[in-house]
A and B are shown apart, each in its own frame.
Chain A
Amino acid sequence: MSVGHIARGFEESGISTVVIAVEPFLKRLEIMSLPRTLLTDNLIGRVLGSPHDTSYQRKVLEKAVKLLSSADKNGTVEHI
């Protein structure tokens, strides 16, 4: 919820955002009507996967950057 409010505030002020979140939060994020969301299939508290999985962490962030620039409308959700 907190980050959803921040994303909405930033976007309203012209700052583009992408939210990276775990899939269990999908329903809660959907009702926040966020612009861009990248979902990871990880447990809560492990958004970027297992500790020290640097290649996966990098992959998630690269996809988030790509989503930031490729999304052309609100409500764009992608999975990794």
Chain B
Amino acid sequence: MSENTKTLETFEEFRKSFFYGSRSDMSFKFLDHLSDEQGADFLQKLFRDVITSIDIGDTDLLKQTVLEGQAAAHAHPDTFSYSEGTFAPFTVNPADAKFTMLTSSGHYPAYKDPEPLGVQEMSQSEAERRIFDFLKEKPVLSEIPFSISPDELRVRHGGYDIRASLEDPNVTFPWQRMNELQEDGVIGRLTENGYSFIGACSQKRLMKDVIPEWIRLMKDNGVDGAILIPV
């Protein structure tokens, strides 16, 4: 194609390219969910705040701007909504209770890769490329001993920016802090394992097939309280 006939990219195409497109970026994929006007306003503010943050030597302003963009993109109603809530009273003293932790962060032990989509040693980039395959899949729960060492812990998830989790898994799977709460008597006991799965999965299969199994697992382990962490 000659330079004269080259098609110019529209702003809409530019925005959408961050959502699993040519500029795929898990921290800014939300640009896809904004209108052109919202997207333009966001980028203008971000550019302005970059300079202000450099001037004042503080990144809080930048963080706040990105947070506002992410919140705007997630403000739309989703498929599932419930008018009635559920509530199981917590009647035990936390210091005497048994706790577990379950996250949708996609952590797993190095020695037990869940091999999503039947792929051995799937890379993070493949997980991102195949996110729409993940959304049709039944989720698999990884059991992660609370005694696991940091070098045995892995993370892979095609739906969020895992860089912070790679640097310190406690950002999304705070197993070391949970161990400390137990050691210091803030909580009574932990289950042998914490749990993690890839939250980007088939919601219907999760509800119909999987959650009943996981409830049985928690009951069998005598769990009083569960710390749940979505990413």
Chain A positions within 8 Å of B, measured between CB atoms, are: 1-28, 31-35, 41-52, 54, 57-58, 60-62, 64-66, 68-69, 71-75
A60 to B194, CA, bound (A): 18
Chain A, Cβ-Cβ closest to B195: A6
Besides A27-B77, A35-B85, 11 new A-B residue pairs in contact (Cβ under 8 A), listed by A number: A1-B80, A6-B206, A13-B88, A19-B230, A24-B74, A31-B81, A41-B67, A42-B67, A44-B27, A44-B161, A52-B167
Which residues of A lie under 8 Å from residue B218 when comparing CB positions? 10, 13, 15
Contacts of A41 in B (CB 8 A): 67
Partner of A44, one of B79, B82, B160: B160
Min distance, Cβ B203 to any Cβ of chain A, angstroms: 6
Interface of A is mostly: mixed
Q: Is B231 interfacial (CB-CB < 8 Å)? A: yes
A2 to chain B, nearest CB (A): 4
Does B145 touch A at the CB level, under 8 Å? no
- Which residues of chain A are within 8 angstroms of B171 by Cβ–Cβ distance? 45-51, 57
- Asked whether B111 is an interface residue with its Cβ less than 8 Å from the other chain, the reply is no
Task: Give the contact-size bracket for chain B.
Answer: 35 or more
Chain A residues closer than 8 Å to B94, beta-carbon distance: 65-66, 68-69
Contact with A along B8-52 (1 / 0, CB 8 A): 000000000000000000110000000000000000000000000
Distance (whole angstroms) from the CB of A7 to the closest CB of chain B: 5
A–B complex contacts, Cβ < 8 Å, 11 sampled: A1-B80, A12-B86, A24-B74, A42-B67, A43-B66, A47-B229, A47-B230, A48-B172, A61-B177, A64-B227, A65-B225
How many A-B pairs have beta carbons closer than 8 Å: the answer is 214
Tell me how far the C-beta of A69 lies from the nearest C-beta in chain B, rounded to whole angstroms: 5
Q: Residue among A9, A66, A74 with the most chain B CB within 10 A?
A: A9
A66 to chain B, nearest CB (A): 8
Chain A residues within 8 Å of B77, by CB: 27, 31
Establish whether residues B203 and A5, one from each chain, have CB atoms under 8 Å apart when the complex forms: yes
Q: How close is A44's CB to chain B, nearest CB, in angstroms? A: 5
A72 to B74, CA, bound (A): 28
Assuming the contacts A11-B88, A25-B74, A48-B170, asked whether A17 and B226 have C-beta atoms less than 8 A apart, the reply is yes
- Tell whether, in the assembled complex, residue A18 and residue B228 are in contact, meaning their CB atoms are under 8 Å apart: yes
- In the complex, which residues of chain A have a beta carbon less than 8 angstroms from the beta carbon of B113? none
CB distance from B205 to the nearest CB of A (A): 11
Given A6-B102, A35-B88, A44-B27, A58–B180 Cβ distance below 8 Å? yes
